[in-house]
Amino acid sequence: WWDNVGIAPKDPILSITEAYFADSSPRKINLGVGAYRDDEGKPVVLQCVRDAQAKIAGCEFLESLSRQGSMKLVDESVKLAYGESSDVVKEGRFAGVQALSGTGACRLFAEFQRRFRPEAQIYLPAPTWSNHRNIWRDAQVPQRTFRYYNLESKILHFEALMDDVKNAPNYSFFLLHPCAHNPTGVDPTEEQWREISYQFKVKNHFPFFDMAYQGFASGDLDRDAQAIRIFLNDGHLIGCAQSFAKNMGLYGQRVGCLSILCKDAKQAISVKSQLQQIARAMYSNPPVYGALLVSTILDDPDLRNLWVKELKVMADRIIKIRAVLRKNLLELGSPLNWDHITNQVGMFCYSGLTPEQVDQLTNKFHIYMTRDGRISMAGVTTENVAYLANAIHKVTKS
Ligand code: LMR
């Protein structure tokens, strides 16, 4: 039956973790996957999550959720994205469903887009998270790219971005990272977001935000949602994928939300029913437990405050370790400019290392990262930063 099946290409991110685990060197460092680690290099279970676990233990039926998923989770998620007091939330002008983390939210949306706007393409930033290409490919949505990052200057390629937005056919779909762009760590400024939003209005483009790292760019949830709020104020109907994998450290629980803003509450009912139907055929209901943890934390003022504090601790550790890595490189006498390490935000540093330099780091120094030179800063610790800086200096010297 399956003679025609060859081995699938390796995932560029997940295969790095596999290679890391297969390495027996005590010096090895995993800078591949974007998963938070503390300064000891260990995964973290947040205290607010432990408290929520205790709070829900034994007091909830673990029945399968209704088709709309956890209503409380969705209601709290949209407030995080669009603002506590936003009119779209108050007036119910959104279709929101619980999703299997950010990936599942994107996949649901891609499927929805193909069904109801089959003529439209999706424009993905160049570069973007590698899985975005898989998601829209599998939903059979034609995809294009728009220019985003200037490899030479290591900043946003703003003019090129605006040109591509202007030159795309009217009514195109664009995927935007509202904060902590993956992989570059470079976000538009507030003013640039305003200009992008304005141009989207002119062109009638649809903005789809994949918000996987809310809180990780600045440590502040509202600030990290600024791009979304700008588009909202400009009257756009937006789509938004949210994930609690990173900002609550619930990677394996797969908790997320997909919301699509609608012109009125009636339209929202139709859109939501279609999203529910798509989900029903794919996986029926999302899992319950993680969603209960998230909604318990968001709904309880004490747990929520604790979460905000713990999120800031995670974001601040990454900001600090960026500075230490840069300082180490300068002290080693590296003649290269490493300002981008501290200018970039969020979990990643788009280092500018070439694929060959990355191979050398892996082969000679047991340092693992994707071949595009993306460093997951969460893997850098006080203990390994000097070793890492030395290795980067060695492979970039000649
Ligand atoms: C990453 O970019 O490393 C994360 O989003 C994790 C993943 O699943 O790829």
**Residue from 13, 31, 254, 347 to probe ligand 1 pocket by mutation (most atoms less than 8 Å from CB):** 13
Indicate which atom in ligand 1 lies nearest the CA of residue 131.
Answer: 9
Nearest residue CA, atom 5 of ligand 1? 34
CA of 124 to the centre of ligand 1 (A): 16
Q: Does the structure show a pLDDT above 80 at 41? A: yes
**Residue from 16, 129, 368 to probe ligand 1 pocket by mutation (most atoms less than 8 Å from CB):** 129
Does the active-site annotation cover 210?
yes
Q: Is 370 left (phi over 0), alpha (psi -120 to 50) or beta?
A: beta
- pLDDT at res. 60: 65
**Residue from 14, 17, 18, 33 to probe ligand 1 pocket by mutation (most atoms less than 8 Å from CB):** 33
Average pLDDT over residues 254-281: 96
Q: Taking all residues of the chain, what is their mean pLDDT, rounded to a whole number?
A: 95
- pLDDT at res. 66: 55
14-44+315-392 is classed in which CATH architecture?
Alpha-Beta Complex (3.90)
Indicate which atom in ligand 1 lies nearest the CA of residue 11.
Answer: 9
For 232, residues 6+ apart whose C-beta sits below 8 A from its C-beta are 82, 83, 86, 88, 238, 261
CA of 391 to the centre of ligand 1 (A): 24
Does the active-site annotation cover 246?
yes
| CA 3 – CA 17 distance, rounded (Å) | 29
Cβ pair 93, 262 in contact under 8 A = yes
CA of 332 to the centre of ligand 1 (A): 31
- pLDDT at res. 58: 80
- Which residue in 51, 164, 210, 224 is the catalytic one? 210
Task: Give 97-108 pLDDT, tens digit per residue.
Answer: 999 999 999 999
| CA 216 – CA 223 distance, rounded (Å) | 10
Task: Give 188-203 pLDDT, tens digit per residue.
Answer: 999 999 999 999 999 9
CA of 379 to the centre of ligand 1 (A): 13
**70 pLDDT tier (thresholds 50, 70, 90):** confident
Nearest residue CA, atom 2 of ligand 1? 34
Ligand 1 shell residues, CB under 6 Å = 13, 33-34, 129, 131, 182
Burial of 355 (0-12, 13-18, 19+ CB in 10 A): exposed
**Residue from 131, 251, 370 to probe ligand 1 pocket by mutation (most atoms less than 8 Å from CB):** 131
Domain coordinates of the chain in residue numbers? 14-44+315-392, 65-299
**57 pLDDT tier (thresholds 50, 70, 90):** confident
Nearest residue CA, atom 1 of ligand 1? 34
Q: Does the structure show a pLDDT above 90 at 385? A: yes
Task: Give 349-369 pLDDT, tens digit per residue.
Answer: 999 999 999 999 999 999 999
Task: Give 143-182 pLDDT, tens digit per residue.
Answer: 999 999 999 999 999 999 999 999 999 999 999 999 999 9
Q: Does the structure show a pLDDT above 70 at 69? A: no
**372 pLDDT tier (thresholds 50, 70, 90):** very high
Indicate which atom in ligand 1 lies nearest the CA of residue 32.
Answer: 3
Q: Both tokens of residue 380?
A: 């850098």
Indicate which atom in ligand 1 lies nearest the CA of residue 14.
Answer: 9
Average pLDDT over residues 62-85: 82
- Which residue in 129, 136, 307, 338 is the catalytic one? 129
- pLDDT at res. 63: 64
CA of 376 to the centre of ligand 1 (A): 10
- pLDDT at res. 362: 98
Q: Does the structure show a pLDDT above 60 at 14? A: yes
CA of 335 to the centre of ligand 1 (A): 31
CA of 83 to the centre of ligand 1 (A): 26
Average pLDDT over residues 56-81: 79
- Residue 94's nearest CA partner among 272, 234, 298, 226 is 272
Indicate which atom in ligand 1 lies nearest the CA of residue 212.
Answer: 5
Indicate the pTM of the whole model: 0.96
**61 pLDDT tier (thresholds 50, 70, 90):** low
**39 pLDDT tier (thresholds 50, 70, 90):** very high
Nearest residue CA, atom 4 of ligand 1? 34
CA of 202 to the centre of ligand 1 (A): 33
Tell me the ipTM for this assembly.
Answer: 0.95
- Residue 228's nearest CA partner among 212, 218, 240, 219 is 240
Does the active-site annotation cover 75?
no
CATH class of 65-299: alpha beta
**131 pLDDT tier (thresholds 50, 70, 90):** very high
- Which residue in 51, 154, 224, 246 is the catalytic one? 246
